[in-house]
Chains A and B, each alone.
Chain A
């Protein structure tokens, strides 16, 4: 499903031509296939502290090929840069410059992952120390820049520790596995904050959602259908939801993922209760809700009418708020409940013609932050995923030139697949991400526009 240009420049004469002409050289990204190794080569763990040692031992116990020192000329699958003990900006030089000597040895589709402390960590006294805060915030700029320097499908992402989370807390390891794996193929230049020691690594790595009942809204096609397939692959029992008019596509998805189809307009007043009732009556429980359903009604604000504005707000954010209210009030949504919403980079960076859509998607991010402490009371989590340019039926309708520019304007120089968004959602819906809440994870290949 890679676009034709990427296929052309990925090998042989096409690759040589693109190189000579200085054209973008996207590669076919490594994506997760059940049964394949977590990472494509040895993992170099850089950093001298006890946190780095503990992390290296854990990775060894996963049967990874772990290096504490680089072996010259050896191709690396990943570099993990543990920077959890930074006291000031000067502490960056040694680990960073040591790692720098290994960057040329990174294999295609390799990973660079930093593990550092969040600059704004209320639980840590060091936050008050300007030098420590400077060093911590420095990692942010460092990593985002490094991500833009990496080539051949390699990505750089960071894990921020806060609220008592350590380098081997369940969700630190969960995020590390996610970033190392092909599941994060289109996630680049991003940070995930692990805010607690909550969460649990799955008993079976390939079935992290075994025994869970998950609801996916807007599941009839596109990203929603991909989410349903990915959650099913990861072991979940699916309830797929879409408007009655999309019922035929919805039925096909339900049959593919061995789930049940619920034809329901999520903007209906009682939608939350209908979802809870269906999941509990038909599948005995409800663990995960994925708010994916969304619509666009694009128009420049000067030409915007009430209908366009109101329908986008109603479906994209008001419905989610109302459903979450029902979920949080329900005694059936109490066992490590997980909510993941689909936001959009439009809601972060803005997009011409999408004031209504961006308002709704910005709203999703605000809702996620404010809902985190509420669902946290029940041991649950809520997060959002903000997709960038994803190759879907919807983006296929964008005029060719605009589409071609949009899909190349990121560090990976290609559009993402619906499955890339689904992988991020599946991770955030898993118990391995239990210590991550209130976060927005961008799946955009480090889009050059916006934050």
Chain B
């Protein structure tokens, strides 16, 4: 059994407490007898990190219901809903990790501040993570690893983003002047510093989603990739349509009743258009890649809008979940990060998951056929479809992935079955938590497939040419 080999059938691994405080499974009635392991193993035996459940607030289009809500407000609300759902009041959680992509400088300790404002014990430590849109999933993976190592028994992963309450900085020119002014000692020195100010320095510096090294927005980058992989407008609109239809159906079926807590009057994601149609989507004009002429296919309908929101996921060691009478939905099996050289145009900005997934599945001895649910984050419909196209491409498989041929194709009926970011919206750091909690619930409901636990794959692309992917397995 390898370090990451928890997907392999057989007895559960027993616990080797890495710290004095770690819980062992020996006393747990549900613990199975330890596997007879050959001697001389070099990797530590790891325990499982289970997903207990999650909570998020509905996602709101920027400037909408949460226009006046800060990251801290929203993360605290998401935490408090999680605490209420699982009865964690005054509980000292092992560690809380969350983050935001758009962050005020005052939010340097955002997660800890949110914990202090929540109903958790004030003795719960917390730290911030930032890996662009992969922030949420990375907090899950990092905390799951700490649980597996026995460093902590419980954890809350999360993420939040507000594009409404975005920080606006002063211009670089004004900033330099202000700092020099602070250092100036005499009146003449101060006047001299002030004389450097020019009218253009007074214009504020608003955040943008452009890539620092290319100056192109994420949408423009994806437009190039979409065109490169010859993804059609129809295919993108169909993916967007399915996202809205699936998310609306999930709401109607009560799927989110134990995944979501309303906030500021919102009870559903405000971007969701339950009544959208392929005809309506087809009427929208392209907004990205307009210089590509007829190849411009990306519209506001098949791209995610700027969104505000927050999500949380409760992770635990099995014994901790049992001791607290909490559900165990799924385990965090393994995760993988990848990055591409988009700066020199070798790959598209958002194509890193196309490399991360094959590596992750290979390490776990799995293929695309072994996955029951695919959760591929819909930054843009084109992102999902370009990734799938790359996997189905013989040459990409041979030359870029080092395989004999194409990596493979997926059963589309297993893709984003309860909707994804095109319908729900995408508050950058909150998307990972949304997907992990929803997928864990779906896996638990599915139970077993062909005698093995149901398995789900998460793929999230991120700015800077990065991507983080993960495998979850039903409990």
Per the 8 Å Cβ criterion, residues 419-475 of B in contact with A are none
Q: Is A260 in contact with B263, judged by CB distance below 8 angstroms? A: no
> A251 on the interface (CB 8 Å rule)?
yes
> B275 on the interface (CB 8 Å rule)?
no
Shortest Cβ distance from B120 into A: residue: A255
Q: Is A282 in contact with B325, judged by CB distance below 8 angstroms? A: yes
Q: How far is the CA of A245 from the CA of B262 in the complex (A)?
A: 6
Q: Which residues of B contact A259 (CB under 8 A)?
A: 87
**Cβ proximity bits B255-269 to A, threshold 8 Å, 1 near / 0 not:** 011101111100100
* Contact with B257, one of A258, A263, A281, A284 (Cβ below 8 angstroms): A263
Per the 8 Å Cβ criterion, residues 301-340 of B in contact with A are 325-327
Q: Which residues of A contact B85 (CB under 8 A)?
A: 251, 254, 260-261
Shortest Cβ distance from A240 into B: residue: B84
Shortest Cβ distance from A251 into B: residue: B84
> A16 on the interface (CB 8 Å rule)?
no
Q: Which residues of B contact A283 (CB under 8 A)?
A: 325
* Contact with B90, one of A244, A258, A268 (Cβ below 8 angstroms): A258
Q: Is B262 in contact with A260, judged by CB distance below 8 angstroms? A: no
Per the 8 Å Cβ criterion, residues 253-283 of A in contact with B are 254-255, 258-261, 263-264, 268, 281-283
* Contact with A281, one of B80, B254, B264, B327 (Cβ below 8 angstroms): B327
**Cβ proximity bits B93-130 to A, threshold 8 Å, 1 near / 0 not:** 00000000000000000000000000100000000000
Q: Which residues of A contact B87 (CB under 8 A)?
A: 254, 258-260, 282
Q: Which residues of B contact A251 (CB under 8 A)?
A: 80-81, 83-85, 261
Most chain B CB neighbours (cut-off 10 Å) among A247, A252, A261, A283: A247
A339 CB to nearest chain B CB (Å):
23
Shortest Cβ distance from A248 into B: residue: B262
Q: Which residues of A contact B389 (CB under 8 A)?
A: none
B129 CB to nearest chain A CB (Å):
25
Shortest Cβ distance from A249 into B: residue: B262
Per the 8 Å Cβ criterion, residues 334-379 of A in contact with B are none
Q: Is B267 in contact with A263, judged by CB distance below 8 angstroms? A: no
Q: Is A248 in contact with B89, judged by CB distance below 8 angstroms? A: no
Q: How far is the CA of A251 from the CA of B86 in the complex (A)?
A: 10
Q: Which residues of A contact B264 (CB under 8 A)?
A: 248
> A250 on the interface (CB 8 Å rule)?
yes
Q: Is B80 in contact with A252, judged by CB distance below 8 angstroms? A: yes
Q: How far is the CA of A340 from the CA of B317 in the complex (A)?
A: 39
Shortest Cβ distance from B261 into A: residue: A247
B312 CB to nearest chain A CB (Å):
12
Shortest Cβ distance from B259 into A: residue: A263
Q: Which residues of A contact B84 (CB under 8 A)?
A: 250-252, 254-255, 260-261
* A-B contacts besides A248-B262, A260-B85, 13 pairs, CB < 8 Å: A244-B267, A247-B260, A247-B262, A250-B84, A251-B80, A251-B85, A251-B261, A254-B85, A254-B89, A261-B84, A261-B261, A281-B327, A283-B325
By a beta-carbon cutoff of 8 Å, the part of chain A in contact with chain B is 244-248, 250-252, 254-255, 258-261, 263-264, 268, 281-284
14 interchain pairs (CB within 8 A)?
Answer: A244-B257, A244-B267, A245-B267, A250-B261, A251-B81, A251-B84, A251-B85, A252-B84, A255-B83, A255-B84, A260-B85, A261-B81, A264-B257, A281-B325
